[in-house]
Structure 1
Amino acid sequence: MLADARHVMPDSLKFRGDATFFNAALDRADLIVHGRNSHEGQPNSPRRKRIVLTRTIEQLAGDPSNPNATLWNPAGVPFEAACEAAGVTSGTIAIIGGPIVFGMFMERYDAFYLSQAPHVHLPDGEACFPGVPERTPQEVLAAHGLRASEPQMLDPEFGVSVTEWRR
């Protein structure tokens, strides 16, 4: 699960090592893509180019609250057009969720970084991918042609790790 039943990431899922890894990855990205409920909420956030998925518009629009954000309705225009509208036509794109957004890109990932906090349980929480909890996140990633590397420990005190899954 990546959030609680209210679609909010609770403090019990926030770990220093994971946040450091996540922030560094976003600092290297040329574009961030996420749903309207997701946001990394960091000091650099407003400066990052982003595409926000939403059904509240027909195609594309600028975000009136953030000049670096482009609002995109995937039913209205292709992803490549959204990238062009955001001013990014090459480079690294970081998809930060939620589950519908992650699911949309399953066939396009070059790499996906799956963080796990094994001692945190969120009954009735929001699953990370479509098809979870019927299948594990690892089974979903493998079914889409991604293969796991060795996990990297991010926070040994809490057993939090990240595994890179590559095509």
Structure 2
Amino acid sequence: MSFRFEGYVIVSADGMLADARHVMPDSLKFEGDKRFFEEALDRVALIVHGRHSHEGQPNSPKRKRLILTRKIKALTVDPEMPNATLWNPEHANFEDACAFADVASGTVAIIGGPVVFDMFMDRYDTFWLSEAPQVRLPGGEGCFTDVPARTPHQVLAAHGLNPGAKLMLEAAHDITVTPWRRR
């Protein structure tokens, strides 16, 4: 198996990906970031996320995915989404889950939440960190389990990732994305 790992998240100025109810609020949704994210996911072989993370885009049902859950033991096809495999990492490793999902190579997009992002921290080739500096979500859910004790930048750097040049996604709201790459 040969994979390239990429992470994708948009965070508020305080490093949050969701509000205190663990829901991504509309204040963190921007057309520029949405387009960037959707175009990226249309190119990947597999998406990995937790039960509460889903991109909800027109092409979502067509995308192969692993959904992490502790509610099952054996790998199984999600009864509601035929392209999705339910995966409990305590009972099967990533490679076995990929084999079950019939994915042997390509780019794997990790799209959250915090525990899922953390699981792949030492595998990322690139982590795409989108930032909404005008949004604050006090008491929200950090993008990584170490946030807010550390900033998202500090967490990525601590795992050997280095920031590249920021790209402007939406100038009106100062929405940028920075590729953090492993050297």
Query: TM-score higher than 0.5 here?
Result: yes
How many residue pairs match? The answer is 167
Where structure 1 has 5 or more consecutive residues not aligned to the other structure, the ranges are none
2:163 maps to which of 148, 151, 159: 148
Q: Hey, what does 2:113 align to over in structure 1?
A: 98
SS in 1 for 2:20: coil
Counterpart mapping for 1:69-88 below 5 A = 69-88=84-103
Q: Tell me, what secondary structure is at the counterpart of 2:110?
A: strand
Match of 2:178 in 1: 163
- What is the DSSP-based 3-state SS (H/G/I as helix, E as strand, rest coil) of the residue aligned with 1:97? coil
**Cα offset for 1:59?**
3.0
AA of the residue aligned to 1:8 = V
Q: Give the letter for the 1:51 counterpart.
A: L
Which of 125, 135, 144 is matched with 2:140 structurally?
A: 125
Could you say which residue in structure 1 is the equivalent of 2:19?
Answer: 4
**What per-residue deviation string (whole Å, max 9, x for no partner) do you get for residues 40-79 of structure 1?**
0011001100000000001311100011000000000100
The structure richer in strand per residue is: 2
Runs (4+) of structure 1 exceeding 3 A deviation are none
Deviations 1:88-135 (A, max 9, x none): 010010000000000000000011000000000001111000111111
Please state whether the residue corresponding to 1:52 is helix, strand or coil.
Answer: strand
| 1:136 pairs with 2:151 | yes
**Letter aligned with residue 44 of structure 2:** A
Name the counterpart of 2:9.
none
SS at match of 2:111: strand
One-letter identity of the residue aligned with 1:47: K
Q: Equivalent pairs: percent with the same residue?
A: 66
Aligned equivalents of 1:141, 1:79: Cα separation in 2: 21
TM-score normalized by the length of structure 2: 0.90
Unaligned runs of 5+ in 2: 1-15
- Alignment check: 8 A CA contact 1:152 1:161 kept: yes
1:150, distance to aligned residue in structure 2 (A): 1.1
- CA shift, 1:6, in A, is 1.1
- The answer as to 2:33 corresponding to 1:18 is yes
